[in-house]
Amino acid sequence: MKLLLIGSGGREHALAWALAKSPRLTALYAAPGNAGIAQVAELCDLDVADHQAVIGFCKDKGIDLVVVGPEAPLVAGLVDDLEAAGLKAFGPSKAAAQLEGSKAFTKGVCDEAGIPTAGYGRFDSRDAALAYVREKGAPIVVKADGLAAGKGVVVAMSLAEAEEAVTACFEGTFGAAGAEVVIEDFLQGEEASFFVLSDGTHALALATAQDHKRAFDGDEGPNTGGMGAYSPAPVLTDPLIAEVMKTIIEPTIATLAKRGTPFKGVLYAGLMITAEGPKLIEYNTRFGDPECQVLMMRLKSDLLDLLLASVEGTLATASARWRDEAAISVVMAARGYPGTYAKGTEIRGLEPLASDRLEVFHAGTKMDGARLLANGGRVLNVTALGSNVQEARKTAYDAIDAIDWPEGFCRTDIGWRAVAREKTG
């Protein structure tokens, strides 16, 4: 099969690396890709926002399946346009991707299906939103409705902070994403991520992970796209996973099917494990980044088979096999990320590192002749396997010590929560 992979981050490098292992693969193209993806795929110069150009490329090359990594093309309806042109694509339609594209949409699905989630109000005027937060008091969570690259959420510990967040949304800080605001009750507990594949009617559980969203050690500093992750998430025990499938995932899939907008693709549930049980914080409609990197490291099944089963509606008879071991991914970012940072600094020392226990996925790199250059905020994802998180973490950080990139930094405490659990048994 000939595949086209859309995206350019560490998630897409991990997907490309896993897809390249499939015996069914005959050609892999990536748009726009990065220097790591280029090791296993042919990069193509395609504007992925130009759907007609993507369709033209697929017809020209005889592409059998398009795999969409990031959310923006999904929300823009790339999968719909590919399907309308008679092409196969992995990922949700524009309508189903509203589970990520609109927080109010997801809250509506939760109401309709009785899915456990934080109580909320939704507002399209500043005064009504301010009156609501004043009535509710802090702590309280203020969210811009639309996609805001992870920056549209304020967990306000004081009323003043909540008022400021409401005002910022309605003053246009998040553009169109903030024209509507969702205000939620503050949930207390441990967060975990759960990934499933769906073919529109059936959901296949994949695996669990936890990530680290803050930039600096000790969960300090600004929010980022994610500075590291590990899988599995020990807090999500088998009985809890069964509960999440029954109370959250399956009702969501059933509701979207009933509405005539079935969800196909990866559903990524951000969960809070509260004293009353698991509650849905948010959905994403794609693999997490860097959660995908740890999932791919643990996946034993053929990824291409699984993605095709989602597209073709045969997940009920599919299964996914995983290594029992733990995987961890540590993000190396350019100094200054998530604020301003330099591009084009040289990275050395990666070649000897890869082994059957370690992969350095590229998140933002490009080649300049024979030189490897940083080309983004998050640049490398040093990803390792181990018998437990402690062992995987040592392998990852030993590799980081060997990487020669003075302009990069990483958190030194990725996996701390799981390591603390392992130490206390």
Nearer Cβ to ligand GLY (375/381): 381
Q: Please say whether the beta carbons of 350 and 401 come within 8 A.
A: no
Q: Please say whether the beta carbons of 383 and 328 come within 8 A.
A: yes
What are the backbone angles phi and psi of residue 360, rounded to the nearest 5°? -100, 100
Residue with tokens 């995908």: 292
State the burial class of residue 205 (Cβ atoms within 10 Å of its Cβ: 0-12, 13-18, 19+).
middle
Residue with tokens 């109580």: 119
Q: In what order do the strands lie in the sheet with 65-68?
A: 42-43, 27-32, 2-7, 65-68, 89-90
- The Cα 153–Cα 140 span in angstroms is 11
Q: Which tokens belong to 340? A: 């301003």
Nearer Cβ to ligand GLY (117/224): 224
Whether the ω angle into residue 338 lies within 30 degrees of 0, i.e. cis, is: yes
Q: How far is the CB of 230 from ligand GLY (least distance, A)?
A: 12
Is residue 153 part of the contact set for ligand AMP (CB under 6 A)?
yes
Residue with tokens 């993000």: 331
Nearer Cβ to ligand AMP (120/397): 120
Q: How far is the CB of 226 from ligand GLY (least distance, A)?
A: 3
Scanning 21-29, 61-69, 182-190, 314-322 for contacts with ligand AMP by CB under 6 A, the matching segment is 182-190
Is residue 191 part of the contact set for ligand AMP (CB under 6 A)?
yes
Q: How far is the CB of 224 from ligand AMP (least distance, A)?
A: 11
Q: Which does 204 bind (CB under 5 to 8 A by kind): ligand AMP, ligand GLY, none?
A: none
Whether the ω angle into residue 116 lies within 30 degrees of 0, i.e. cis, is: no
Q: Which does 155 bind (CB under 5 to 8 A by kind): ligand GLY, ligand AMP, none?
A: ligand AMP
Q: Which does 211 bind (CB under 5 to 8 A by kind): ligand AMP, ligand GLY, none?
A: ligand GLY
Is residue 70 part of the contact set for ligand GLY (CB under 6 A)?
no
254 alpha-carbon distance from chain centroid: 23
Q: How far is the CB of 151 from ligand GLY (least distance, A)?
A: 12
Scanning 166-174, 185-193, 227-235, 383-391 for contacts with ligand AMP by CB under 6 A, the matching segment is 185-193
Q: Which does 226 bind (CB under 5 to 8 A by kind): ligand GLY, ligand AMP, none?
A: ligand GLY
DSSP label of 217: G
185 alpha-carbon distance from chain centroid: 24
Scanning 22-30, 169-177, 179-187, 236-244 for contacts with ligand AMP by CB under 6 A, the matching segment is 179-187
Q: Which does 284 bind (CB under 5 to 8 A by kind): ligand AMP, ligand GLY, none?
A: ligand GLY
Range 100-119, binding ligand AMP (CB under 6 A): 118
Q: Please say whether the beta carbons of 374 and 408 come within 8 A.
A: yes
Is residue 376 part of the contact set for ligand GLY (CB under 6 A)?
no
- The Cα 276–Cα 59 span in angstroms is 51
Which segments within 133-180 are labelled E, that is strand?
Answer: 140-144, 153-156
Q: Which does 273 bind (CB under 5 to 8 A by kind): ligand GLY, ligand AMP, none?
A: none
The pattern of x and - marking residues 255 through 274 that bind ligand AMP according to CB under 6 A reads: ---------------x----
The pattern of x and - marking residues 38 through 67 that bind ligand GLY according to CB under 6 A reads: ------------------------------
- The Cα 249–Cα 280 span in angstroms is 10
Ranked by CB distance to ligand GLY, the top (closest) residue is 226
Q: Which does 332 bind (CB under 5 to 8 A by kind): ligand GLY, ligand AMP, none?
A: none
Is residue 100 part of the contact set for ligand GLY (CB under 6 A)?
no
State the burial class of residue 370 (Cβ atoms within 10 Å of its Cβ: 0-12, 13-18, 19+).
exposed
Among 211, 302, 325, 359, binds ligand GLY (CB under 6 A): 211
Is residue 161 part of the contact set for ligand AMP (CB under 6 A)?
no
State the number of CA atoms in the 13 A half-sphere of 1 facing the CB: 21
| CB proximity list for 88: less than 8 A, separation 6 or greater | 64, 65, 66, 82, 311
Is residue 226 part of the contact set for ligand GLY (CB under 6 A)?
yes
Range 264-323, binding ligand GLY (CB under 6 A): 284, 288-289, 291
Taking each helix axis as running N to C, give the angle between helix 416-424 and helix 389-402, from 0 to 180 degrees, rounded to the nearest 10: 140
Give the count of beta carbons closer than 10 Å to the beta carbon of residue 387.
10
Residues in contact with ligand AMP, total (CB under 6 A)?
A: 12
What are the residues binding ligand AMP (CB under 6 A)? 118, 141, 143, 153, 155, 184, 186-187, 191, 270, 281-282
Interface positions with ligand GLY (CB under 6 A): 211, 225-226, 284, 288-289, 291
